[in-house]
Amino acid sequence: MDTTAWLVVAAIAALIMFALAAVLLVRVVKARKLLVDAGIPLRDKALVWAAVIYTVSPVDLLPDPVYLDDIGFLLLALRSLHTAAASAGLGKAKRTAAPVEIPKPERAAKPRPDVVG
């Protein structure tokens, strides 16, 4: 392959990574909005963001080929967030609530002008 082909491949890879980063950024912003609206304590939200920063940072407790410390920290943060959400009452309503029945609008028997009765 010549240099032009490698540049095209690199440009396509960069565009794909940029698109994925944009999608992840949108999801993070939506998740942040949900966390703010849910009333979850700041400590649990900060733990999740610290776990994300730790996962991305080059500083690790274990060398990078071994991701056990990153995975463990993320799981600890997610478990803490799940516990905080459950104590705030999120998720319980979906399991215990009875199905909601949508009332049908009542139709008054109006005489139609085109029908002669």
| Model pTM above 0.75 | no
Distance CA 44, CA 62 (A): 24
Per-residue pLDDT 10s for the chain (117 aa) are 788 999 999 999 989 988 888 887 787 777 777 777 677 778 888 888 888 888 888 777 777 676 778 888 888 888 888 888 778 776 554 444 555 555 555 665 566 666 565
Location of structure tokens 């698109």? 19
Angle of helix 42-56 relative to helix 68-87, nearest 10 degrees, comes to 160
Distance CA 39, CA 34 (A): 9
Say what the pLDDT of residue 63 is. 73
Say what the pLDDT of residue 8 is. 93
